Chains A and B, each alone.
Chain A
Amino acid sequence: MTRATVVGAGMTEFGQHDRPLTELFADAAIPALADAGVGTDEIDALYFGNAMGGQTETDTHLAPAIGTHLGLGGVPCQRFEDACATSSTAFKQAVEAVEAGVHDTVLVGGVERCTPATGLDTAAMTEVFASATHRQYEQPTGLTFPGVFALFTKRHMHEYGTTEEQLAAVAVKNHRHGKANPYAHFGKDVTVEEVLEGPTVADPFRLLDCCPFSDGASAVVVTNPERAETVAGEPVAVAGVGHRTGTVPLAEKESLTATRPAREAATEAYDQAGVDPDAIDLAEVHDCFTGAEVLATEALGLIEDGRGGPAAAAGRTERGGEIPVNPSGGLKAKGHPIGATGTGQIAELTEQLRGAAGDRQVENATRGVAHNLGGDAATTVVTVMEAVA
Protein backbone atom coordinates (compact mmCIF):
# COMPACT_ATOMS: atom_id res chain seq x y z
CA MET A 1 0.00 0.00 0.00
CA THR A 2 1.56 3.28 -1.09
CA ARG A 3 1.07 6.06 1.44
CA ALA A 4 2.89 8.72 -0.60
CA THR A 5 5.49 8.90 -3.34
CA VAL A 6 8.96 10.41 -3.48
CA VAL A 7 9.51 11.89 -6.94
CA GLY A 8 12.72 13.82 -6.39
CA ALA A 9 15.79 13.77 -4.18
CA GLY A 10 18.80 16.02 -3.77
CA MET A 11 21.84 16.19 -1.52
CA THR A 12 24.94 18.21 -1.03
CA GLU A 13 28.15 16.37 -0.34
CA PHE A 14 28.40 15.75 3.38
CA GLY A 15 31.68 17.21 4.64
CA GLN A 16 32.77 20.75 5.38
CA HIS A 17 30.81 23.69 3.96
CA ASP A 18 31.46 27.30 4.89
CA ARG A 19 28.26 29.02 3.78
CA PRO A 20 24.93 30.04 5.34
CA LEU A 21 22.30 27.40 6.16
CA THR A 22 19.89 28.98 3.64
CA GLU A 23 22.41 28.59 0.82
CA LEU A 24 23.51 25.12 1.88
CA PHE A 25 19.90 23.89 2.02
CA ALA A 26 19.18 25.38 -1.43
CA ASP A 27 22.02 23.29 -2.82
CA ALA A 28 20.02 20.18 -1.90
CA ALA A 29 16.47 21.52 -2.44
CA ILE A 30 16.96 22.86 -5.97
CA PRO A 31 18.47 19.56 -7.22
CA ALA A 32 15.54 17.73 -5.53
CA LEU A 33 13.01 19.94 -7.35
CA ALA A 34 14.89 19.52 -10.64
CA ASP A 35 15.04 15.76 -10.16
CA ALA A 36 11.27 15.74 -9.54
CA GLY A 37 10.53 17.98 -12.48
CA VAL A 38 8.47 20.12 -10.13
CA GLY A 39 8.51 23.92 -10.01
CA THR A 40 8.58 25.92 -6.80
CA ASP A 41 5.08 27.16 -7.69
CA GLU A 42 3.86 23.55 -7.37
CA ILE A 43 5.16 23.13 -3.80
CA ASP A 44 2.35 23.41 -1.26
CA ALA A 45 4.47 23.36 1.90
CA LEU A 46 8.03 23.13 3.22
CA TYR A 47 8.70 20.73 6.09
CA PHE A 48 12.20 21.62 7.12
CA GLY A 49 14.59 20.13 9.65
CA ASN A 50 17.41 21.80 11.56
CA ALA A 51 18.34 20.61 15.00
CA MET A 52 20.94 22.95 16.46
CA GLY A 53 21.14 26.17 14.42
CA GLY A 54 20.13 28.21 17.44
CA GLN A 55 23.12 26.95 19.38
CA THR A 56 25.67 26.58 16.60
CA GLU A 57 24.98 29.62 14.44
CA THR A 58 22.56 31.87 16.40
CA ASP A 59 20.05 31.10 13.66
CA THR A 60 16.43 30.18 14.43
CA HIS A 61 13.04 30.62 12.77
CA LEU A 62 14.75 29.36 9.68
CA ALA A 63 11.75 28.04 7.75
CA PRO A 64 10.54 31.44 6.46
CA ALA A 65 14.09 32.44 5.55
CA ILE A 66 14.52 29.20 3.60
CA GLY A 67 11.09 29.60 1.98
CA THR A 68 11.96 33.11 0.88
CA HIS A 69 15.41 32.06 -0.36
CA LEU A 70 13.81 29.32 -2.47
CA GLY A 71 10.93 31.46 -3.77
CA LEU A 72 8.20 29.37 -2.20
CA GLY A 73 5.85 32.37 -1.92
CA GLY A 74 3.51 32.29 1.03
CA VAL A 75 3.07 28.52 1.40
CA PRO A 76 3.37 27.20 4.95
CA CYS A 77 6.99 26.56 5.90
CA GLN A 78 7.75 24.96 9.26
CA ARG A 79 10.77 23.72 11.12
CA PHE A 80 11.17 20.43 12.99
CA GLU A 81 13.62 19.49 15.76
CA ASP A 82 14.00 15.96 17.09
CA ALA A 83 17.77 15.77 17.47
CA CYS A 84 19.33 13.42 14.91
CA ALA A 85 15.86 12.27 13.71
CA THR A 86 14.88 15.84 12.81
CA SER A 87 14.28 15.46 9.09
CA SER A 88 12.69 12.02 9.48
CA THR A 89 9.94 13.41 11.69
CA ALA A 90 9.53 16.18 9.09
CA PHE A 91 9.30 13.48 6.40
CA LYS A 92 6.75 11.53 8.41
CA GLN A 93 4.57 14.63 8.74
CA ALA A 94 4.86 15.29 5.01
CA VAL A 95 3.79 11.73 4.16
CA GLU A 96 0.80 12.07 6.48
CA ALA A 97 -0.17 15.48 5.07
CA VAL A 98 -0.01 14.19 1.50
CA GLU A 99 -1.85 11.00 2.38
CA ALA A 100 -4.59 12.98 4.13
CA GLY A 101 -4.96 15.35 1.20
CA VAL A 102 -3.89 18.38 3.21
CA HIS A 103 -1.17 19.09 0.65
CA ASP A 104 -0.52 17.64 -2.81
CA THR A 105 3.23 18.17 -2.93
CA VAL A 106 5.62 18.92 -0.08
CA LEU A 107 9.31 19.77 -0.11
CA VAL A 108 10.98 18.05 2.86
CA GLY A 109 14.57 18.20 3.96
CA GLY A 110 17.12 19.32 6.45
CA VAL A 111 20.40 21.11 6.89
CA GLU A 112 23.05 21.30 9.61
CA ARG A 113 26.58 22.49 10.11
CA CYS A 114 28.63 20.71 12.77
CA THR A 115 32.25 21.03 11.62
CA PRO A 116 34.80 23.58 12.85
CA ALA A 117 33.55 25.75 9.95
CA THR A 118 30.95 26.87 12.52
CA GLY A 119 33.74 28.26 14.70
CA LEU A 120 33.04 25.66 17.41
CA ASP A 121 35.77 23.25 18.50
CA THR A 122 35.29 19.60 19.53
CA ALA A 123 34.52 20.37 23.20
CA ALA A 124 32.01 23.07 22.29
CA MET A 125 30.27 20.93 19.64
CA THR A 126 30.28 17.95 22.01
CA GLU A 127 28.46 20.17 24.52
CA VAL A 128 25.92 21.26 21.87
CA PHE A 129 25.24 17.62 20.97
CA ALA A 130 24.97 16.68 24.66
CA SER A 131 22.13 19.18 25.01
CA ALA A 132 19.96 16.40 23.57
CA THR A 133 20.50 14.36 26.74
CA HIS A 134 18.30 15.04 29.78
CA ARG A 135 18.98 18.55 31.02
CA GLN A 136 18.72 17.78 34.75
CA TYR A 137 19.41 14.06 35.10
CA GLU A 138 22.08 13.41 32.46
CA GLN A 139 23.92 16.55 31.40
CA PRO A 140 25.36 17.24 34.90
CA THR A 141 27.16 13.87 34.81
CA GLY A 142 29.21 14.98 31.80
CA LEU A 143 27.51 12.42 29.57
CA THR A 144 28.20 12.74 25.84
CA PHE A 145 26.60 11.02 22.85
CA PRO A 146 29.53 8.69 22.33
CA GLY A 147 28.99 7.97 26.04
CA VAL A 148 25.27 7.24 25.58
CA PHE A 149 25.89 4.66 22.86
CA ALA A 150 28.93 3.33 24.71
CA LEU A 151 26.63 2.52 27.66
CA PHE A 152 24.27 0.64 25.33
CA THR A 153 27.11 -1.10 23.50
CA LYS A 154 29.01 -2.21 26.61
CA ARG A 155 25.82 -3.75 27.93
CA HIS A 156 25.42 -5.53 24.58
CA MET A 157 29.01 -6.77 24.81
CA HIS A 158 28.29 -8.01 28.33
CA GLU A 159 25.06 -9.79 27.41
CA TYR A 160 26.04 -11.22 24.02
CA GLY A 161 29.82 -11.28 23.86
CA THR A 162 30.08 -8.66 21.11
CA THR A 163 33.75 -7.73 20.63
CA GLU A 164 35.67 -4.59 19.76
CA GLU A 165 36.88 -6.35 16.60
CA GLN A 166 33.28 -6.91 15.53
CA LEU A 167 32.49 -3.24 16.17
CA ALA A 168 35.53 -2.28 14.10
CA ALA A 169 34.20 -4.46 11.28
CA VAL A 170 31.18 -2.16 11.06
CA ALA A 171 33.45 0.85 10.58
CA VAL A 172 35.59 -0.98 8.00
CA LYS A 173 32.50 -1.99 5.99
CA ASN A 174 30.94 1.47 6.06
CA HIS A 175 34.16 3.17 5.04
CA ARG A 176 34.43 0.69 2.15
CA HIS A 177 30.85 1.48 1.15
CA GLY A 178 31.39 5.21 1.49
CA LYS A 179 34.30 5.08 -0.93
CA ALA A 180 31.76 4.45 -3.72
CA ASN A 181 29.53 7.36 -2.68
CA PRO A 182 30.29 10.77 -4.22
CA TYR A 183 28.29 12.48 -1.44
CA ALA A 184 30.30 10.87 1.36
CA HIS A 185 32.37 12.77 3.92
CA PHE A 186 35.05 10.03 3.96
CA GLY A 187 36.29 8.36 0.82
CA LYS A 188 39.00 6.11 2.17
CA ASP A 189 39.32 2.59 3.47
CA VAL A 190 40.25 1.86 7.07
CA THR A 191 41.44 -1.42 8.58
CA VAL A 192 40.34 -3.18 11.76
CA GLU A 193 43.81 -2.47 13.18
CA GLU A 194 43.52 1.25 12.44
CA VAL A 195 40.15 1.35 14.22
CA LEU A 196 41.47 -0.54 17.25
CA GLU A 197 44.59 1.60 17.52
CA GLY A 198 42.74 4.93 17.41
CA PRO A 199 42.36 7.23 20.42
CA THR A 200 39.50 6.38 22.79
CA VAL A 201 36.48 8.69 22.74
CA ALA A 202 34.28 6.76 25.22
CA ASP A 203 35.17 3.13 25.72
CA PRO A 204 34.65 0.88 23.82
CA PHE A 205 34.50 3.50 21.07
CA ARG A 206 37.63 4.80 19.47
CA LEU A 207 37.75 7.67 17.03
CA LEU A 208 36.93 5.52 13.99
CA ASP A 209 33.95 3.91 15.76
CA CYS A 210 32.34 7.36 15.70
CA CYS A 211 30.68 9.23 12.86
CA PRO A 212 32.24 12.59 12.03
CA PHE A 213 30.95 16.10 12.65
CA SER A 214 29.60 16.97 9.18
CA ASP A 215 27.98 19.85 7.34
CA GLY A 216 25.41 19.16 4.65
CA ALA A 217 21.86 19.23 3.40
CA SER A 218 19.35 16.85 1.87
CA ALA A 219 15.86 17.23 0.43
CA VAL A 220 13.13 15.16 -1.18
CA VAL A 221 9.85 15.96 -2.94
CA VAL A 222 6.85 14.04 -1.59
CA THR A 223 3.57 13.88 -3.52
CA ASN A 224 0.54 11.66 -3.84
CA PRO A 225 0.62 8.62 -6.15
CA GLU A 226 -1.78 10.20 -8.66
CA ARG A 227 0.24 13.34 -9.02
CA ALA A 228 3.44 11.30 -9.15
CA GLU A 229 2.26 9.94 -12.51
CA THR A 230 2.17 13.44 -13.98
CA VAL A 231 5.65 14.65 -13.05
CA ALA A 232 8.97 13.82 -14.66
CA GLY A 233 10.76 12.46 -11.60
CA GLU A 234 10.96 8.68 -11.34
CA PRO A 235 8.69 7.69 -8.45
CA VAL A 236 9.60 5.59 -5.43
CA ALA A 237 6.78 4.53 -3.11
CA VAL A 238 6.65 5.20 0.63
CA ALA A 239 4.99 2.02 1.85
CA GLY A 240 5.30 2.55 5.60
CA VAL A 241 6.53 5.03 8.18
CA GLY A 242 6.70 4.05 11.85
CA HIS A 243 7.58 6.50 14.61
CA ARG A 244 7.85 5.65 18.29
CA THR A 245 9.15 7.33 21.42
CA GLY A 246 11.13 5.88 24.29
CA THR A 247 12.00 6.80 27.84
CA VAL A 248 14.35 9.64 28.79
CA PRO A 249 16.56 9.63 30.89
CA LEU A 250 18.20 6.53 29.51
CA ALA A 251 18.77 4.84 32.88
CA GLU A 252 15.02 4.36 33.08
CA LYS A 253 14.69 2.48 29.79
CA GLU A 254 13.47 -1.08 30.31
CA SER A 255 16.45 -2.32 28.28
CA LEU A 256 19.76 -0.70 27.33
CA THR A 257 20.22 -2.97 24.30
CA ALA A 258 16.76 -3.41 22.77
CA THR A 259 16.14 0.15 21.49
CA ARG A 260 12.44 -0.52 21.99
CA PRO A 261 11.22 2.48 19.94
CA ALA A 262 13.12 1.12 16.93
CA ARG A 263 11.49 -2.28 17.32
CA GLU A 264 8.03 -0.75 17.62
CA ALA A 265 8.57 1.72 14.77
CA ALA A 266 9.86 -1.12 12.56
CA THR A 267 6.84 -3.28 13.34
CA GLU A 268 4.57 -0.35 12.53
CA ALA A 269 6.35 0.38 9.22
CA TYR A 270 6.49 -3.27 8.16
CA ASP A 271 2.80 -3.73 9.01
CA GLN A 272 1.84 -0.70 6.93
CA ALA A 273 3.89 -2.08 4.03
CA GLY A 274 2.55 -5.59 4.56
CA VAL A 275 6.03 -7.11 4.66
CA ASP A 276 8.37 -8.99 6.98
CA PRO A 277 12.01 -8.07 7.55
CA ASP A 278 13.10 -10.86 5.20
CA ALA A 279 11.46 -8.94 2.32
CA ILE A 280 13.93 -6.07 2.78
CA ASP A 281 16.73 -5.81 0.18
CA LEU A 282 18.81 -3.06 1.80
CA ALA A 283 18.87 -0.90 4.92
CA GLU A 284 20.13 2.58 5.70
CA VAL A 285 20.52 2.63 9.49
CA HIS A 286 21.60 5.18 12.06
CA ASP A 287 25.21 4.15 12.70
CA CYS A 288 26.25 7.24 14.67
CA PHE A 289 28.61 4.77 16.38
CA THR A 290 29.54 1.26 15.30
CA GLY A 291 27.60 -0.20 18.23
CA ALA A 292 24.50 1.70 17.14
CA GLU A 293 24.51 -0.18 13.82
CA VAL A 294 24.67 -3.48 15.70
CA LEU A 295 21.65 -2.51 17.81
CA ALA A 296 19.79 -1.22 14.74
CA THR A 297 20.21 -4.33 12.61
CA GLU A 298 18.81 -6.39 15.47
CA ALA A 299 15.93 -4.01 16.26
CA LEU A 300 14.90 -3.99 12.59
CA GLY A 301 14.74 -7.78 12.59
CA LEU A 302 17.40 -8.01 9.87
CA ILE A 303 19.84 -9.89 12.13
CA GLU A 304 19.05 -12.15 15.09
CA ASP A 305 19.25 -10.54 18.55
CA GLY A 306 22.79 -10.63 19.86
CA ARG A 307 24.29 -11.51 16.46
CA GLY A 308 24.73 -8.00 15.07
CA GLY A 309 28.45 -7.99 15.79
CA PRO A 310 29.27 -11.40 14.31
CA ALA A 311 27.04 -10.61 11.32
CA ALA A 312 29.08 -7.50 10.50
CA ALA A 313 32.38 -9.34 10.97
CA ALA A 314 31.20 -12.19 8.71
CA GLY A 315 30.19 -9.84 5.88
CA ARG A 316 26.48 -10.55 6.12
CA THR A 317 25.77 -6.79 6.04
CA GLU A 318 28.15 -5.92 3.17
CA ARG A 319 26.86 -4.65 -0.15
CA GLY A 320 26.60 -7.98 -1.95
CA GLY A 321 25.99 -9.79 1.35
CA GLU A 322 22.83 -11.32 2.72
CA ILE A 323 21.35 -7.96 3.77
CA PRO A 324 23.33 -4.87 2.71
CA VAL A 325 23.39 -2.31 5.52
CA ASN A 326 24.43 1.27 4.83
CA PRO A 327 25.52 0.91 1.20
CA SER A 328 25.83 4.73 1.28
CA GLY A 329 28.57 4.44 3.90
CA GLY A 330 26.08 5.36 6.62
CA LEU A 331 26.61 8.12 9.13
CA LYS A 332 30.04 6.60 9.77
CA ALA A 333 31.47 7.37 6.30
CA LYS A 334 28.80 9.31 4.44
CA GLY A 335 28.64 11.72 7.38
CA HIS A 336 26.12 13.03 9.89
CA PRO A 337 24.93 16.62 9.46
CA ILE A 338 22.27 16.12 12.15
CA GLY A 339 19.21 17.76 10.60
CA ALA A 340 20.06 16.46 7.11
CA THR A 341 20.62 12.82 8.02
CA GLY A 342 17.03 11.56 7.93
CA THR A 343 16.10 12.78 4.48
CA GLY A 344 19.64 11.89 3.40
CA GLN A 345 18.68 8.27 4.08
CA ILE A 346 15.45 8.76 2.07
CA ALA A 347 17.49 10.24 -0.80
CA GLU A 348 19.79 7.18 -0.71
CA LEU A 349 16.87 4.73 -0.76
CA THR A 350 15.34 6.72 -3.63
CA GLU A 351 18.50 6.36 -5.72
CA GLN A 352 18.94 2.70 -4.80
CA LEU A 353 15.32 1.78 -5.60
CA ARG A 354 15.51 3.59 -8.92
CA GLY A 355 18.59 1.53 -9.71
CA ALA A 356 20.49 4.81 -10.05
CA ALA A 357 23.05 4.46 -7.25
CA GLY A 358 26.02 3.92 -9.55
CA ASP A 359 29.03 2.16 -8.05
CA ARG A 360 27.23 1.60 -4.76
CA GLN A 361 24.08 0.09 -6.30
CA VAL A 362 22.66 -2.89 -4.44
CA GLU A 363 21.67 -5.44 -7.10
CA ASN A 364 17.97 -6.12 -7.59
CA ALA A 365 16.96 -3.68 -4.88
CA THR A 366 13.17 -3.42 -4.82
CA ARG A 367 12.48 -2.65 -1.17
CA GLY A 368 14.53 -0.75 1.39
CA VAL A 369 14.25 0.38 4.98
CA ALA A 370 15.58 3.54 6.64
CA HIS A 371 16.17 3.72 10.40
CA ASN A 372 16.87 7.17 11.85
CA LEU A 373 17.06 7.79 15.57
CA GLY A 374 17.23 10.93 17.67
CA GLY A 375 19.08 11.39 20.93
CA ASP A 376 19.49 8.16 22.86
CA ALA A 377 17.12 6.47 20.35
CA ALA A 378 14.12 7.77 22.30
CA THR A 379 12.96 9.11 18.95
CA THR A 380 13.09 6.53 16.18
CA VAL A 381 11.55 6.70 12.72
CA VAL A 382 11.57 3.67 10.42
CA THR A 383 10.55 4.03 6.77
CA VAL A 384 9.90 1.31 4.18
CA MET A 385 10.24 2.35 0.53
CA GLU A 386 9.56 0.34 -2.60
CA ALA A 387 10.47 0.55 -6.27
CA VAL A 388 7.48 1.39 -8.45
CA ALA A 389 7.06 -1.26 -11.15
Chain B
Amino acid sequence: MSEREPPITYADWRQALEDDALLGLECRCGAVTATPKRACPACGSRELAARELPTTGTVDSETTIAVPPAGHDSGTVAVVDLGPARLLGRIDGAVEIGDRVVFAGARTADGEPAPVFEPEEN
Protein backbone atom coordinates (compact mmCIF):
# COMPACT_ATOMS: atom_id res chain seq x y z
CA MET B 1 0.00 0.00 0.00
CA SER B 2 1.36 3.35 -0.88
CA GLU B 3 0.03 6.36 0.93
CA ARG B 4 1.34 9.87 0.76
CA GLU B 5 3.26 11.12 3.74
CA PRO B 6 1.42 13.85 5.62
CA PRO B 7 2.48 17.20 4.13
CA ILE B 8 2.77 18.67 7.62
CA THR B 9 2.55 17.22 11.10
CA TYR B 10 2.17 18.83 14.48
CA ALA B 11 5.97 18.93 14.76
CA ASP B 12 6.17 20.99 11.54
CA TRP B 13 3.36 23.31 12.65
CA ARG B 14 5.01 23.82 16.03
CA GLN B 15 8.43 24.47 14.49
CA ALA B 16 6.91 27.03 12.12
CA LEU B 17 5.12 28.72 15.01
CA GLU B 18 8.34 28.93 16.98
CA ASP B 19 9.96 30.42 13.83
CA ASP B 20 7.21 33.08 13.68
CA ALA B 21 5.13 31.61 10.86
CA LEU B 22 1.64 30.17 10.67
CA LEU B 23 1.60 26.93 8.72
CA GLY B 24 -1.57 25.35 7.35
CA LEU B 25 -2.82 23.12 4.60
CA GLU B 26 -4.60 23.74 1.35
CA CYS B 27 -6.69 21.10 -0.37
CA ARG B 28 -7.05 20.75 -4.13
CA CYS B 29 -10.74 21.65 -3.52
CA GLY B 30 -9.58 25.04 -2.30
CA ALA B 31 -10.34 24.54 1.40
CA VAL B 32 -7.67 25.74 3.82
CA THR B 33 -7.17 24.50 7.37
CA ALA B 34 -5.00 26.19 9.97
CA THR B 35 -3.95 23.03 11.81
CA PRO B 36 -2.41 19.81 10.41
CA LYS B 37 -4.70 16.97 9.38
CA ARG B 38 -4.51 13.86 7.23
CA ALA B 39 -7.61 14.79 5.25
CA CYS B 40 -9.48 17.85 4.13
CA PRO B 41 -12.32 18.78 6.53
CA ALA B 42 -14.37 20.00 3.58
CA CYS B 43 -14.07 17.14 1.07
CA GLY B 44 -12.10 14.33 2.72
CA SER B 45 -9.32 14.38 0.15
CA ARG B 46 -5.83 13.48 1.35
CA GLU B 47 -4.21 15.51 -1.43
CA LEU B 48 -3.22 18.42 0.76
CA ALA B 49 -0.31 20.80 0.36
CA ALA B 50 1.44 22.85 3.02
CA ARG B 51 1.00 26.60 2.79
CA GLU B 52 1.78 29.61 4.90
CA LEU B 53 -1.23 31.38 6.29
CA PRO B 54 -1.88 35.13 6.35
CA THR B 55 -0.54 36.79 9.48
CA THR B 56 -3.33 39.33 9.84
CA GLY B 57 -6.94 38.64 10.57
CA THR B 58 -10.16 39.66 12.22
CA VAL B 59 -11.44 38.71 15.67
CA ASP B 60 -14.47 36.43 15.28
CA SER B 61 -14.91 36.05 19.02
CA GLU B 62 -12.87 36.64 22.15
CA THR B 63 -13.02 36.18 25.89
CA THR B 64 -10.82 37.07 28.80
CA ILE B 65 -10.28 34.06 31.01
CA ALA B 66 -10.08 35.16 34.64
CA VAL B 67 -9.90 31.66 36.14
CA PRO B 68 -7.15 29.85 34.19
CA PRO B 69 -6.16 26.20 34.34
CA ALA B 70 -3.15 25.23 36.45
CA GLY B 71 0.02 26.13 34.53
CA HIS B 72 -1.51 29.13 32.74
CA ASP B 73 -2.06 32.82 33.43
CA SER B 74 -5.33 34.64 33.03
CA GLY B 75 -5.69 36.45 29.73
CA THR B 76 -7.56 36.82 26.48
CA VAL B 77 -8.05 34.18 23.82
CA ALA B 78 -9.71 34.73 20.45
CA VAL B 79 -10.89 32.94 17.36
CA VAL B 80 -9.06 34.80 14.58
CA ASP B 81 -10.35 34.71 11.02
CA LEU B 82 -7.23 34.76 8.85
CA GLY B 83 -9.27 34.83 5.65
CA PRO B 84 -8.88 31.34 4.27
CA ALA B 85 -9.02 29.68 7.72
CA ARG B 86 -9.65 30.37 11.39
CA LEU B 87 -7.29 29.76 14.30
CA LEU B 88 -7.48 30.05 18.09
CA GLY B 89 -4.82 32.25 19.59
CA ARG B 90 -3.80 34.17 22.63
CA ILE B 91 -4.25 37.95 22.49
CA ASP B 92 -1.63 40.39 23.72
CA GLY B 93 -3.68 43.53 24.35
CA ALA B 94 -7.37 44.36 24.35
CA VAL B 95 -9.61 43.49 21.41
CA GLU B 96 -13.27 43.28 20.50
CA ILE B 97 -15.11 41.25 17.89
CA GLY B 98 -14.37 42.69 14.45
CA ASP B 99 -11.00 44.17 15.41
CA ARG B 100 -8.02 43.58 13.13
CA VAL B 101 -5.13 41.69 14.70
CA VAL B 102 -1.65 40.70 13.58
CA PHE B 103 0.31 37.54 14.37
CA ALA B 104 3.03 38.25 16.92
CA GLY B 105 4.78 34.92 17.36
CA ALA B 106 4.45 32.14 19.87
CA ARG B 107 3.84 32.13 23.58
CA THR B 108 4.83 29.08 25.55
CA ALA B 109 3.11 28.14 28.78
CA ASP B 110 3.23 24.71 30.34
CA GLY B 111 5.74 23.59 27.71
CA GLU B 112 3.80 24.06 24.47
CA PRO B 113 3.51 27.04 22.12
CA ALA B 114 0.32 28.86 21.19
CA PRO B 115 -0.06 31.53 18.51
CA VAL B 116 -0.20 35.10 19.81
CA PHE B 117 -1.94 38.00 18.09
CA GLU B 118 -1.94 41.68 18.94
CA PRO B 119 -4.08 44.61 17.80
CA GLU B 120 -3.02 45.91 14.39
CA GLU B 121 -1.50 49.40 14.43
CA ASN B 122 -3.68 51.86 12.57
Contacts and interface: CB of A to CB of B under 8 A. Distances in A.
A142 B108 CA distance: 10
A274 interface: no
B55 to A, nearest CB: 16
B109 interface: yes
Contacts of B62: 151, 154
A372 B43 CA distance: 28
A138 B67 contact: no
Nearest to A136: B10
B59 to A, nearest CB: 10
| Overall SS of chain A's interface | helix
Q: Which of A142, A150, A249 has the largest number of chain B CB atoms within 10 A?
A: A142
Interface in A136-178: 136-144, 146-147, 150-152, 154-155, 158
A181 to B, nearest CB: 27
A140 B66 contact: no
A126 interface: yes
A150 B72 CA distance: 18
Given A127-B70, A202-B63, A256-B60, A147 B110 contact: no
A137 B35 CA distance: 7
A387 interface: no
B35 A136 contact: yes
A202 B75 contact: no
Interface string A55-85: 0000000000000000000000000000000
A140 B70 CA distance: 12
Interface string B87-122: 111100000011000000000111011110000000
B109 to A, nearest CB: 6
Nearest to B13: A136
Interface residues of B, number: 42
Contacts of A141: 77, 88-90, 114-115
Contact of A140 (B34, B73, B87, B112): B112
A122 B108 CA distance: 22
Contact of B77 (A127, A151, A158, A204): A151
Interface in B34-59: 34-35, 41
Contacts of B77: 141-143, 147, 151
Nearest to B87: A251
A263 to B, nearest CB: 18
Interface of B: 10, 13-14, 33-35, 41, 60-75, 77-80, 85-90, 97-98, 108-110, 112-115
Given A123-B69, A141-B115, A155-B61, 9 more contacts: A137-B35, A141-B89, A142-B69, A142-B72, A142-B75, A143-B65, A151-B77, A158-B97, A203-B64
9 contacts: A122-B67, A127-B71, A130-B69, A143-B65, A144-B65, A147-B77, A151-B63, A154-B97, A256-B60
